[in-house]
Structure 1
Amino acid sequence: RTLDASGTKPAGMVRVPGAQTPTGRVDDFFIDRTEVTNRQFKEFVAADGYETREFWTEPFELDGRSIPWDEAMEQFVDQTGRPGPSTWQAGTYADGDADHPVTGVSWYEAAAYAAFAGRSLPTSVHWGLARGEQTPIISFYQLGGFAVYAPFSNFGADGTVPAGSLPGITAYGAVDMAGNAREWNANRSPFGRIVRGGAWGDNTYMFGEPSQAPPFDRSPKNGFRCARYSEGDEVAAASQLVTFSEGPDFYAMEPVADEIFELYRERFLYDEAPLNANVERRSEEHPDYVYERVTFDAAYRGERVIGHLFLPRNASPPYQTVVYVPGSAALLHPSSEDMGQYYEYPVFLSFLVKNGRAVFFPVYAGTFERGRADLPQLVAGGQQKTRLHSGFLTDVVRDFSRSVDYLESRDDIDRDRLAYYGMSWGGWLGAIIPAVETRVATAIVAFGGLIDAGRPEVHPINYVGRVSMPVLMLNGRYDSNFLLDTSIQPMFELLGTPDEQKELKLFESDHIIPKNDLIRETLDWLDQYLGPVD
């Protein structure tokens, strides 16, 4: 590590060591310790930053066309029509938010502020180095971001917190690179510009995955920090277009014949056997629900499935019930204790219970305390085409079916009004599980799509066309995990569901769509296919 002489380091910045990267050698550079705050951005506004053209060096591109300065400036106003971020009113930020990261800014506004401050937006390469991308603890998939930073960062919340107020800190002293505001980078992307780090309303794995948004996007998630490069450092290579892996052409893939598919489907079936179910804990402390932690026999190897059941207080049994399949963070999270506080419950599930529907959240094979040491390689490494991976997915699907067995055994659950609800990892499994487990009446696939994973016996292409139940897909147009043209759209079009019973809703977002849109569309769909809550 290089020690900087007193007074030589730029104020509010930390030094990041240079490194060899895929785009070439990067010299030492400085990056803001915190995200730019409302207080700092107000200095730019007060200095007539929105009227000073020299700060706005990039040509304005909106909906595929170049637009003049005056038209662009009309976009950059607050909620009352004054120059400023979309989250401000009357030309300023909300009381008490001075030290929160500024949000609601477009890429152009972030770049203009950087020019005003005599700095730059970091390239994706520089931003990645600053988060510790080449340090052992981050480069190790199972730990990077999830176990180390996520518990100490602002994810799964309803808004920002003061910059630097949480203990999540990188190896070089930068804070809030995980969560709080997602941060604009300099690089172009297929749909606009790169944003990184994830935001207060995102899942934890967004810390590790570059995303994208149109440069005029002014989401309340959008913030930024600045970088300063050493004199003579060549950053052009690091500023190049960032693209995302598109995967295969699913339309060109040929599903197996029905007789072969029946052999594949057989692998998920199991002999009828007692559940030996046990309610291990019951709590009536929460005002919205009665909580039960249950266990029952799995369909394999003498294992037990854990289930977290949330029964609504504002409805009467038998309850409509949504069976949830979570995002991939569940594969790395060590425990499902306090499931009501786990990120995905308050963000993606609590509204269902408040609406009068029960939620069942099983701990599937490989998730939470049922995790496995080999999962990183099976799920995201080089072993997705192995029989071991096929066995893992088979266990997951069987756990879902066994969960339905359990729900059907209860008098307080309406067995005819069950729904599948999968998010991200659970979203792409929505191409498989509903083709096998037909006792659920409908499926909601949130932030999912087709991926090229698995041997033929578990490959989504052999299942998606056999899904026949009503399906709602909810996706962000700029998702970099499941690309619209090569993953999302193919899944929707290849679903075997009749056209009049499937719907794809696209939103102007990346991986995680706005919460209010998720709530509205999900409840409307469940009302349509399960019926309104009694």
Structure 2
Amino acid sequence: MFNSNKFLQVVSGFLAFGFTILQGIDWLFEKYSIDGKWFNYIIIGLFIAFIASLIFLFIKSRQSESQKPKSNDKKSKFIKVANVTFTGLLLILFVYFFRKSETKNELLNELLPKISRAYDDKNINYVFKKSKELLAEYPENQILKSFFIKSSWKVNVDSDLDKTDVYVKYGNDSIWNYVGKTPVDSLSVPALGDENDFNLKLINGEYEYIGSDEEYGFFNISLVQKLPKGFVLKNSKSDVFVNMPGVFLGNNNKIDAFGVSKTEVSNIEYKEFIDKGGYENPDFWDFPTSINGKKYSFKNTIGLFTDKFGKSGPKNWTYGDFPDGEENFPVSGISWFEAKAYAKFRGLSLPNIFQWIDAAQLSGLILKLPDINGSNYNTSKPRQVNLQLNESGLLPNIAGNVREWVINSHGEDRKAILGGSYGTNEYTFNSFYSLSPFNRSLQNGLRLVKNFEKNFSYNDTIKVKHIERNFRLEKNVSDEVFEVYKSQFDYPNTPLNVEVNKIESPDKKYQIEKFEMSTTYKNDEKLYGYIITSERFKEMSKPIIEFPGAWAIFNNKLNIDEFIIKEKKYLLDEGYSIIIPVYHNTWDRKKTIKDWWPNETEEYKNTIIKIGKDFKRVVDFLETRKNLNIKKLSYMGYSWGSVTSNILLAIENRVKSAAIFVGGLMLQKSRKEIESHLYVRRIKIPILHIVGKLDGIFEFEDSFLPWNELVGTPDEDKNIVILDEIGHGLPKDLMIDKHLQFIKKYN
């Protein structure tokens, strides 16, 4: 049979036909991810057909073999070799496609389900890497393509130096992967959500630049060698969205490349300025100047900038020297003029607001603020300039420690100072703040920048818009109209259907209950919250309902931990229960506004109305609790919790007193039907209000004083504490002392 031409024709035909049909079917199965078992059935079918053909051929050849004359030996030998060769190739073809099918079965039955589970478990880094790896082998697989697209996004990379080598590192990996030479178009990187997605490294000869987290676009790496020691490069950007709560700076800004110091200026660095006669040399100082019509010269102004003993230098220094052991602490107690003079002494600049925001990783459309855990907020003193307690990729202490002067003016008589300080809360990191350029708070410091094109940037001259509003001249509405406005917060009288469960407390001296109920408005979320009570007073206590600060907008998780209990201990141990509701737009509930500043949109109005309804509904629930004395219900709120009380206390008459801290009237306008100044006039209950005169968020003159004049509380029940040398962060001991005195008197 192996000598037969017929056999050769059958085998070669099967080989050609089998290869063609299997290639086509393989492409079809791969493209549409058809189960590989059907491909195996086709291979087995073809193999059976081949064997059947051989058997049929063998029988036919046996019948005709005796009738044929013997063929030429050479020809017979050639045909025999060809038949064996083609038969072997055909068998190899069957084995190859069968094994390939088995590999695809592994892909479909094991790897794809594993990728799918990883995606459901939000292990996006695995999904990205595995789908990328498998697509190299199965480029037409649509399911792999889908997972790769869902787990990635694309960036472009270019440089001011031609043919720069580009490397990428994904997530928290330590391995740099070579990408190619610039320009690189549409580089796929993982979309890891809250985690860092990638870092880029660019190398061109002696130039090397490692980008910050998720930095991409155009890189000015030729400027690396022009950076002063201890500075990092920030690349040029165009069409940049720049915004801070209450301050919109546009969405098509251009930021030229600049260098920024890794650390805040230290005491030892600033001392060189003093030792070299910086306070005696008028060339470094921005005088003469005029502020609000008053002229200031170098000669009649430099005497304002003295230390504790009247010598030139920061406010807390002694005879031109910093406190012992604090050489590496940030210089503080300096005015804007001193910060500007020091920058000029170094041949550098103060950052403008765009540069500072970019250096703090706050430029662009920020979906989530950088991780500032470990930053120096809510403490009693600064820390060393190079101390960084987190790995967020932020410059050390750009969040907290000391506020950093910025070159831009705010209105006619203030200068921007950003980042917050050790004495403020975390949300001040992303809050616009300004002070008089003469202010020398111990929380004021500086960081420097290097401008490359010239020692001046156009963005330095931009004046941050100062919102002006005189509430005293704004008309009130009649009581009838106000009742209509107030009715926006009403809802049908329906059963509460509240579920209450005890949860584990980090301190056994106190019990924590979690309550949960439906909202009074159409919503797929639950209104929930917590009640914290001392075990000593669990049979009967006096409730205090709290409204959070703006950190509840920017954070997505509320932990009732030992810190919260410790913070409220002074009230809990005196027989008060603390009620902490999770209102609409706070913590893990749906966010419909991204900051606390009012605006005239319907969205903002509806958000405030939902918050008000949640507040009233929680009071409904508290009224049903037999172990809470609802007749002693009090309110407390700090910052956003303070300004929100302007509405909440006017729509809920079951609250009998309120302690609010650092508040007032916000200057931004909202829809008239929720304008705070119309509500605050209707508040009649006793109020404790503690404010700092140097508050840069709710300004004393424009925000607090109008509130104090308009609030409807009788003078004898207004407990106002004004602190001269304090800003938005209040001394905790004073807060506790004043709050206890107040609440014991009225509750």
Q: TM-score band (shorter)?
A: 0.7 to 0.9
Q: How many Å separate the matches in 1 of 2:392 and 2:221?
A: 17
DSSP-derived class of the 1:151 partner: coil
Give the one of 615, 633, 644 matched to 1:429: 644
Pairwise mapping of residues 165-184 of structure 1 onto structure 2 (< 5 A)? 165-166=387-388, 174-184=395-405
Partner residue in 1 for 2:181: none
Tell me the CA shift for residue 434 of structure 1.
0.9
CA-CA distance at 1:48 after TM superposition: 5.0
Greater C-alpha Rg: 2
Candidates 187, 207, 211, aligned match of 2:408? 187
Shift in Å, 1:501: 2.4
Question: Aligned partners of 1:423, 1:375: CA distance in 2, in Å?
Answer: 19
Pairwise CA distance, 1:224: 0.7
**Alpha-carbon shift at residue 324 of structure 1 (Å):** 1.3
Q: Distance in 1 between matches of 2:623 and 2:706?
A: 33
Query: After superposition, where does 1:338-417 map in structure 2 within 5 Å?
Result: 338-341=560-563, 352-353=571-572, 357-369=576-588, 371-376=589-594, 384-386=600-602, 389-410=604-625, 412-417=627-632
Shift in alpha-carbon separation, 1:52–1:517, aligned structure 2, 3 A: farther
1:201 matches 2:405: no
Asked if the contact 1:385–1:453 (Cα under 8 Å) also holds between the matched residues in 2, the reply is no
Residue 266 of structure 1 deviates from its aligned partner by: 6.6
* TM-score, with structure 1 as normaliser: 0.81
3-state SS, counterpart of residue 483 of structure 2: helix
- Displacement, 1:112? 3.1
Aligned to 2:707: 491
- Tell me if 1:8 matches 2:229: no
**Residues 101-116 of structure 1 aligned to structure 2 (within 5 Å):** 101-116=330-345
Cross-structure match for 1:292: 512
Q: Secondary structure at the match of 2:503?
A: strand
Query: Deviations for 1:170-205, whole angstroms, at most 9, x for unmatched residues?
Result: 88x633222221101223334432211111232333
* Structure 1 residue 426 displacement after superposition: 1.9
| Counterpart secondary structure, 1:156 | coil
Q: Is the 8 A contact 2:553 2:591 kept in 1?
A: no
Check whether the contact 2:285–2:298 (CA below 8 A) recurs between aligned residues: no
Q: TM-score, normalised by structure 2?
A: 0.60
Contact 1:103–1:222 (CA under 8 A) maintained in structure 2: yes
Q: 1:306: how far off?
A: 3.1
Please state how far the C-alpha of 1:295 moved relative to its aligned partner.
1.3
SS of equivalent residue, structure 1 residue 375: coil
**In the alignment, residue 399 of structure 2 is paired with which amino acid?**
A
Q: Which has the higher contact order (CA 8 A, sep 6+)?
A: 1
The one-letter code matched in structure 2 to 1:490 is P
Amino acid at match of 1:367: T
* CA distance in structure 1 between the partners assigned to 2:439 and 2:528 by the alignment: 41
Match of residue 526 from structure 1: 743
Q: Is the 8 A contact 1:193 1:212 kept in 2?
A: yes
Secondary structure at the counterpart of residue 215 of structure 1: coil
- Decide whether the 8 Å contact of 1:14 with 1:174 is kept in 2: no
Find the aligned partners of 1:294 and 1:523 in 2 and give their Cα distance: 26
Q: Which residue identity lines up with residue 358 of structure 2 in the other structure?
A: L
Cα distance in 2 for residues equivalent to 1:409 and 1:5: 68
Counterpart of 1:58? 287
The reply on whether 1:29 has 2:284 as its aligned counterpart is no
Q: Which residue of 1 is the match for residue 153 of structure 2? A: none
Q: What is the SS of the residue equivalent to 1:433?
A: helix
Q: What is the identity, as a one-letter code, of the residue corresponding to 1:294?
A: K
1:260/1:160 CA distance change after superposition, 3 Å: closer
CA deviation digits over 1:254-281, x for unaligned, max 9?
3254266157337335526346342331
Alignment correspondent of 1:150: 372
C-alpha contact (below 8 Å) 1:251/1:490 kept by paired residues: no
Bigger mean CA offset, 191-200 vs 1-10: 1-10
SS in 2 for 1:308: strand
Q: CA, structure 1 residues 160+321, in 2 after alignment: closer, same or farther (shift >3 Å)?
A: farther
For 2:709, the aligned partner's letter is E
- Segments of structure 2 that go 5 or more residues without pairing to the other structure are 1-218, 241-248
2:461 corresponds to which residue? 239
CA deviations 1:488-529 (Å, max 9, x no partner) are 333332222223323554444544445455445444433443
**Contiguous gaps of at least 5 residues in structure 1:** none
Cα distance change on mapping 1:168 and 1:187 into 2, 3 Å: farther
SS across alignment from 1:101: coil
Residues 279 and 302, structure 2, Cα contact 8 Å, conserved in 1 = no
Asked whether the equivalents of residues 29 and 230 of structure 1 are also in contact (C-alpha less than 8 Å), the reply is yes
Partner of 1:473: 689
Q: Hey, what does 2:346 align to over in structure 1?
A: 117
Offset, 1:61: 8.4
Amino-acid identity (%): 25
Mapped to 2, the partners of 1:89 and 1:354 lie a distance apart of 43
The residue type paired with residue 363 of structure 1 is V
Give the aligned CA root-mean-square deviation in angstroms.
Answer: 3.9
What amino acid is aligned across from residue 188 of structure 1 in structure 2? S
Compare the two structures and name the one with the higher helix fraction. Answer: 2
In the superposition, relative to structure 1, how do residues 127 and 107 fare at CA in structure 2: closer, same or farther (>3 Å)? Answer: same
